[in-house]
Each structure stands twice: as C-alpha cells, then as structure tokens.
Amino acid sequence: MMIRENVQKILSELPQGVELVAAAKARLPEEVLEAVKAGVKIVGENYIQEAERAYALVGNRAKWHFIGHLQKNKVKKAAALFDMIETVDSIELAKEIDKRCSQIGKVMPVLIEVNSGREEQKAGVVPEKVESLIREISGLQHIKVMGLMTMGPYSPDPEDSRPYFVETSQVFEKIKKLNLPNTEMKYLSMGMTSSYQIAIAEGANMVRIGTKIFGERS
C-alpha cells in the first residue's frame, strides 16, 4: 500500500500550522487506519455510516471531522461521534446540533460552510450572509464557531478555484476582526487534492485531502 508514503510526503511538505484532514469517503476502515498510523491526526467523513465503521476500528487514535451534508435526522449520531462539524450552513442545523450537544453535555466546534461559488444547488451560505449566521449562532451555548470551510465550484483547472478561496479568506479575516462572542475564528478549511497548494497560498490552514492519500476512488 502506498498510503503510508503518501501521508508522509504530504505531511513533510505542508507548511507549519496547516492541518491535514484525510478525506475518507468510500475508503475501507483498514485504509483509514493505515493513514492514521502514518501520521494523519484528523479524519474527514462525509457519511455517518462510513464514519461509524471507520471509528469502530480507528477509535480515538484520530480526531473526527464531519465534512459532508448533514441531515437533521443524523445530527444526534453526529453530535456523539464527531470532534468538529465543518459544514454548518443554516441556523436550523445549528440549533439542532446545539440541542443534541446540550443533551450529552458537549460543546461542538463547527465551521460555517461558505457557498463561495454562489451555486444554486450547492450547500453552504453565500459570502454576504456568513456574518449574520455567525451572529445568530453565537447566542447558542453548545456550539462554537471556529472558522469557515469552502469547496468552490468544480473545475479541472485548480487555478480556477483561486478567486473563491480569496473571497472566503477575506470573509474569514473580516469576521475575525469583529471578535464576536462565543466565536473563535481559528480555522480556514479550503482545498482538496488538486487545489490545496493554491488554498494554502490564499490563507487556508486546514486542507482536506482524499485522492492524494488513498488513490483514485473506484
């Protein structure tokens, strides 16, 4: 397996202060464990069921980030399992997370997912609505906003992602300066296998990498 070599190469090349999230969708629990043994500290999961299977093998050897689209009826499980939810994009979802976390005595760190491409069908809040959503969430006791996440529109040329990363980064810096209560703008999660170097150049300090660790998804 190349997973070990891939992880070690990526980790050795990432600038100091940039966190690697291994995007594990469609991978076997054994592959996720291999990545963790090679030095991955955070696993990103898109689906609750896959996360449960991987967690059963890997457990607390890694932190677990939810990076998929979270349905309301899955929040209870997500609240128990994850260390961070990177994809909060509505006050309704935030309130549900807050409610479930209050029941288990937990404060959930979350990122706000930004729909930086302003794409109709895509998850996330458009850049100009991020601040008002964070202000609403800051009143909740069991959820804490810790930054922003974005995907950007898909393009075969990663350079096309740059303007979306730039805009998300600007929103991040602006909100950081506001020092909102119960909010700590610490993480900017942007960039995937093809685009993470560009994302880092534009301010990302968390990158979500799947293919470059595990190989092409079948």
Ligand X SMILES: *Cc1c(COP(=O)(O)O)cnc(C)c1O
Return residues touching ligand X (CB under 6 A): 23, 25, 46, 67, 151, 192-193, 208-212
In this structure, the chain runs to a length of: 218
If phi > 0 it is left, if psi is from -120 to 50 it is alpha, else beta; for residue 39 that is left
CA distances for 187 relative to 5, 157, 176, angstroms: 26, 25, 10
Q: Which is nearer to ligand X, 154 or 173 (CB)?
A: 154
Q: Cβ closer to ligand X: 129 or 212?
A: 212
Q: Would you say 142 or 208 has its CB closer to ligand X? A: 208
Residue 105, Ramachandran bin (φ over 0: left; ψ between -120 and 50: alpha; else beta): left
Q: Which residue is nearest to ligand X (CB)?
A: 210
* Close Cβ partners of 131 (under 8 Å, ≥ 6 residues apart): 171, 174, 175, 178
- Is 66 or 172 the residue whose CB approaches ligand X more closely? 66
Least distance between ligand X and beta carbon 182 (Å): 25
CB of 194 to ligand X, least distance (A): 6
Min dist. Cβ of residue 16 to ligand X (A): 21
